[in-house]
Structure 1
Amino acid sequence: MSAEDRLRYEISKCRNCEACRSHVNFSCLVFPEMFRIVDKERETGEKITTDELMHMINLCNFCGACPCLDIRAAIMEAKTEYMDRYGLGFKIRAIENVERIGKWGGAIPQLTNFLFKNEITRGVLGKTVGIHGERKIPDFPKENFPEWIKSRKENTKSRAEGKKKVAYFAGCTARYLFPDVAKAALEVLERNGIEVYYPEQQCCGMPSLLEGDRKLTLEFTRFNVDRLAVVVEEGYDIVCSCPTCGYMLKNILKIGAYYSNAYLEQIESDDDFVLIPTNNAMLAISGFAKIPKRYLGDILKDEGYFSSINSKKRILVAENTYDMGEYLRMLHERGELDTRLGTVSVRAVYYPPCHLREQRIGRPYEDLLSLIPGLSVDWIDGNYCCGNGGIMGFKQEFHHSSIKIAGRLIGKIKGLNPEVLATDCLSCRLQFNQLIPYKVLHPIEIIKESYRT
């Protein structure tokens, strides 16, 4: 079955269910468009065209609001198939590689910032690479995080036995646009007696995955998995301050890996059953669910997007990766977190980003920020989305849709009128800087300030 055929099959299931007609129409562009073309097909009898499907899936920013994983996977597979078939345009190739943009833009930041602010050059850039004229481009810092970390003699692997060790995965936006976030992450971890190592790393691959660029996505992910698997074997935990990077490393990369022959041989699965790790006490036998091969053996295979990357390495990385807040909360639960926190007299609002919610780890910063004296925090509940979708909000054809998606969330934040808006996602920060006047901080920056006071 082709990816387009699978997408049509999933749409047929949505047509028979229709729960999402009202469930996610407030923060998602895909389902309103899906039901529009489904209704048209019903009324006219004309089959949904490939062009209509391509338009629909290009509206998806992988926020995770849809309750059914199958439709999400089908959209990503179809987008990749279409890009393999028709190719990526120059404009997409120019902006999808955030790693390259960060390195080039940060090489001579003063010149880059001038070019992005000059009306003439900004207009030329808009026409050539497709960035919307109203989209604010953040300043490139004088010194990005990779440059800063090179000046630290401390960035070496620890050989200490029995000491907590973290390999920090910073993410492109923290590395090249908001280095203070990455610096704060290191400072907080080191304050808690943790040896921090910054391994060689590239983009997590989510931006190129969303654009359907299989080649670039696999190039990035293979690079990261190969290097991160090594540091895990050396006793490091991987910690991400970016929820999108964490979602990619923890959740997306391991899809199908537990069904691979290499992994099943490693855990000594027998010929009759597939053993799958599970936390479900009703299903688990020594931590595994036993699934008879005679029923599902032809289905449960590692044949997905990332199957060309070593399955055991993917699992090793996924099972040893933590969100920054998740890791600090874990330290606190063990009584190992330094809770000598100073007063921060600020009224804040905290927005949990989409890809943090998708990790299914709760809201760790709710527990952590509550430890800070003087800090008042309102928590935003519900499946709100900022609408930026990584690079999608920068595109000429998606900019206004991006703003539309953000409308409910922005209204909620303005109603609370905080002094500071806190969120883990730096893509969300870019959107908030575009739309509202409040100071935006990563929660780790607030914790850092509390330690300093």
Structure 2
Amino acid sequence: MAFDLKSPDFWNREALDRELRRVFDICHGCRRCFHLCPSFDVLFELIDAKGEDVENLTRADVTRIVDLCYQCKLCFNHCPYTPPHRWDIDFPRLMLRAKAVQARERGIPRQDRILGRTETLGRWGSRWAPVVNLANRLRPIRVLMEKAIGIHRDRRLPIYHRETFLDWFRAYCRGRTHGPSGNGKVALFYTCYVNHHDPAVGRAAVRVLEHNEVEVVVPPQRCCGMPFLDGGDLESALVNARENVRVLTELVEKGYDVVIPGPTCSYMLKHEYPVLLDDEAARRLAQRSFDLCEYLMKLHGEGRLKTDFKPIAQRIAYQLPCHLRAQNIGYKSRDLMQLIPGTTVHMMERCAGVDGTWGLKREYHALSLKVAEKLFREIEREQPDLVVSDCPLAGLQILQGTEKRPVHPIQVLARAYGLEEGGRP
């Protein structure tokens, strides 16, 4: 297996190198993922330049290929040789393993140590939100930030909110004995980004769910762990995964489903936790975890979703995030928005190229924007009334490339219900 923590060979450099070259050789012969991402482009270019033999790749070549993988997961869906095929190819998890081994050998770079700690950054950023937001707009500060931690000086950064989503939810629940519960009950895994950078998404989620008579609780939770994996910090990712599984599984056993508004976080709970932890609790949690719009469409399929929408004449350009495509759940957000009378939805299956911490880094900023060029052009061609994406970092990339500020599908739905105006505060 590409990612088997129980294997004695997992941390062995020679075993890893053999597996990397085995997989690279199969990918070289297939090339179905040509132009899918920069990692494959460089892989094929290097092999072609070195006698079409993977054994001629140097350690530096391999590191370059690994570092260009930003975990969009799309190659796993494209690949005809994934498990249970005998060739057992899982390219993205093999790249995660390579980053983890590299981090153990060389240490985790300061840049990745800082960017991986989203909860700490969020707490301090929200506490000092006006100062931090101002500093992030000042050119001299951004130049210093680029030199100190490698975030490109031109990269748009998310704003911090002094009132986090969790602050709002606690105040919202104060004095209430309980919320509605006649149509199901969910634990909201609200995500670090929603908590500190986009609490309007969390507010809309609560209001839409409660409008549909679904009880909402917000349990203690930690970052899903993907930012740690991006930097090879496997141990920290495992700590967070174990704690989230412990807390959320207790609620699952009480009949709660888990809903997540962020595609990367829902992917982690549904697909990575069972692999990382390889235990029954993680598998049970995965079975009861849903992307937010997936959960609402589940209600619709069961005849339990209210459709008392106000007609809204709007043309929406909807960017389908990579980590929703990788979940193979269909087009739930698009289908949900199409229930709104007067709304037309143009779906764009284009990668935004920012993917977690990767696109923030100085060395990948230009390449990140290049990956997103087709998405930018499609948005400009469509000239929509509204741009929508479930992924907040894709939203930042779209804002950077088009000056159009996307909203989350749940905000579109809240507006159609008459619960909350669309758009981000």
TM-score in terms of structure 1 length: 0.83
- What is the CA–CA distance in structure 2 between the aligned matches of 1:105 and 1:96, rounded to whole Å? 15
Matched with 1:332 is 300
Give 1:424's match in structure 2, choosing from 384, 390, 395.
390
Give yes or no for the alignment of 1:16 onto 2:29: yes
Matching of residue 436 in structure 1 with residue 402 in structure 2: yes
**Secondary structure, aligned partner of 2:372:** helix
For 1:413, which of 346, 368, 379 is the aligned residue? 379
Q: What amino acid is the match of 1:434? A: Q
One of 42, 57, 60 as aligned partner of 2:69: 60
Output the amino acid matched with 2:339. L
Match runs of 1:62-81 below 5 Å? 62-66=71-75, 67-68=78-79, 69=82, 70-81=90-101
Contact 1:155 1:197 in 2 (8 A): no
Find out whether 1:202 has 2:173 as its counterpart.
no
Q: CA deviation at 1:20?
A: 2.7
TM-score by length of 2: 0.88
5 Å-filtered alignment, 1:349-388, equals 349-380=317-348, 382=349, 384-388=350-354
| Structure 2 partner of 1:48 | 57
Q: Which residue of 2 aligns with 1:295?
A: none
Higher relative contact order (CA 8 A, sep 6+): 1
Aligned mates of 2:177, 2:396 — CA distance in 1: 33
Once the two structures are TM-superposed, the CA of residue 41 in structure 1 deviates from its matched residue by 2.6
Runs of 4+ in 1 over 3 A off after TM superposition: 43-46, 154-163
Q: 1:160 to 1:135 in 2, by over 3 A?
A: closer
TM-aligned CA deviation for residue 235 of structure 1: 1.1
Do the aligned partners of residues 191 and 94 (structure 1) sit closer, same or farther apart at CA in structure 2, a change above 3 Å counting?
same
Matches of 1:348 and 1:440 in 2, distance apart? 10
Relative to 1, partners in 2 of residues 1:239 and 1:47: Cα closer, same or farther, differing over 3 Å? same
Q: How far apart are the structure 2 equivalents of 1:247 and 1:424? A: 13
What is the SS of the residue equivalent to 1:244? helix
Number of residue equivalences: 395
Distance in 2 of aligned mates of 1:414 and 1:163: 41
Q: Answer yes or no: is 1:306 the counterpart of 2:277.
A: yes
Query: By how many angstroms is 1:343 displaced?
Result: 2.0
The whole-number CA distance in structure 1 between the counterparts of 2:293 and 2:54 is 51
Q: Do 2:74 and 2:325's aligned partners in 1 also have CA atoms closer than 8 Å?
A: no
Point out where structure 2 has 5 or more consecutive residues left out of the alignment: 1-8, 10-14, 83-89, 420-425
The residue number in structure 2 matching 1:170 is 190
What secondary structure does 2:259 align onto? strand
Q: Which residue of 2 aligns with 1:228?
A: 248
Helix, strand or coil: the match of 1:117?
A: coil
Q: Which amino acid aligns with 2:210?
A: E
Give the Cα separation in 2 of the matches to 1:419 and 1:234. Answer: 42
Alignment of 1:236-251 (within 5 A): 236-251=256-271
SS in 2 for 1:151: helix
Q: Which moved more, 1:158-167 or 1:334-343?
A: 158-167
| Corresponding residue number in structure 2 for 1:298 | none
- In the alignment, structure 1 residue 401 sits paired with structure 2 residue 367: yes
Unaligned regions of 5+ residues in structure 1, if any? 256-304
The 10-residue stretch of structure 1 (191-200 or 338-347) with the greater mean CA deviation from structure 2: 338-347
Q: Distance in 1 between matches of 2:247 and 2:187?
A: 10
Conserved in 1, the CA contact under 8 Å of 2:139 and 2:153? no
Shift of 1:191: 0.3
- 2:147 is equivalent to residue 127 of structure 1: yes
Q: CA deviation at 1:86?
A: 1.0
- Aligned residues with identical type, % of pairs: 33
The offset of 1:353, in angstroms, is 0.5
Letter in 2 for 1:324: L
Secondary structure of 2:249's aligned partner: helix
The one of 234, 258, 262 equivalent to 1:214 is 234
